[in-house]
Amino acid sequence: MLLDWSNIDTVLLDMDGTLLDLHFDNYFWLTHLPRRYAEHFNLDLTIVTPQIHGHLMAHRGTLNWYSTDFWSRELNVDIIALKNEVKHLINERPQALDLLKALGTAGKQQILVTNADRDSLKIKFKETAIGPHFNQTISSHDYGYAKEQPEFWQILRSEIGFNPDRTLFIDDSEAVLHSAQHYGIQYLRSIAQPDSKKISDHTSAFNAIENFQDLLCQVNAP
């Protein structure tokens, strides 16, 4: 798990499931949305829930999967309004803010790279304190490619000019990490328990971060 911080200039950080607890997103998409959809259209929740889950999974790994506009059109509901109903569930993961502060003190370039769209980012930034710590905030929707796609990394590098050999990327998605690895990013870390409410059965091809204290100790080391 030890990282050579003297060889790291840029830290790319995912948001949901990495800096923020994934519980909000899992609860919203898997529980709250089906419930409110069933209420709105006066449908049977036991029938609606698997239908919505199946519809969601059909778009997994694409920009549509992460697009609030897409799902508002598909389901004929206001996704942002529904998210705001449970926004109190949005929380930073333990010591996420401490890590961001330590990276800033250490002079590392901090870039948020997320598949969340800009409307989702607004909610997350309003409910948490992570926003001011980044040198830049990148949504994959800005580029037209999800992080799972190689084109995302090509555009990102042309935009911010990072050196893959001197970059650390932290993400909770195995597919995204493999995409970053294929592009050539040197240092990769996954998250052992993205959702605090779910017992972790996480297996990863990458070193997994149990909590940010491990990284904090390294960043703060003399």
Q: Is the CB of residue 180 less than 8 Å from the CB of residue 188?
A: yes
* C-alpha distances out from residue 215 to 8, 102, 113, 115, 136, Å: 13, 10, 19, 24, 21
Following CA atoms 64, 138, 209, 175 in sequence, which dihedral angle do they give, to the nearest 10 degrees? Answer: 40
Tell which residue, 172, 200, 73, has the closest CA to residue 114: 172
Report yes or no on whether pTM surpasses 0.85: yes
Q: What are phi and psi of 57, to 5 degrees?
A: -65, -25
Q: Is the CB of residue 143 less than 8 Å from the CB of residue 156?
A: yes
Rounded CA Rg of the chain: 18
Tell which residue, 185, 134, 140, has the closest CA to residue 163: 185
pLDDT one-digit tens code per residue, 172-207? 999 999 999 999 999 999 999 999 998 776 678 899
Q: Whole-number mean pLDDT of the chain?
A: 95
More confident of the two residues 138 and 211: 138
Topology given in CATH for the domain delimited by 5-22+91-219: Rossmann fold (3.40.50)
* Model pLDDT, residue 20: 98
Q: How many residues does the chain have?
A: 222
pLDDT one-digit tens code per residue, 93-119? 999 999 999 999 999 999 999 999 999
What residues have CB less than 8 Å from 21, skipping those under 6 apart? Answer: 90, 91, 92, 93, 194, 195, 196
Tell which residue, 4, 41, 17, 59, has the closest CA to residue 202: 17
Domain spans, the chain: 5-22+91-219, 24-88
Please state the rounded mean pLDDT for residues 38-43. Answer: 97
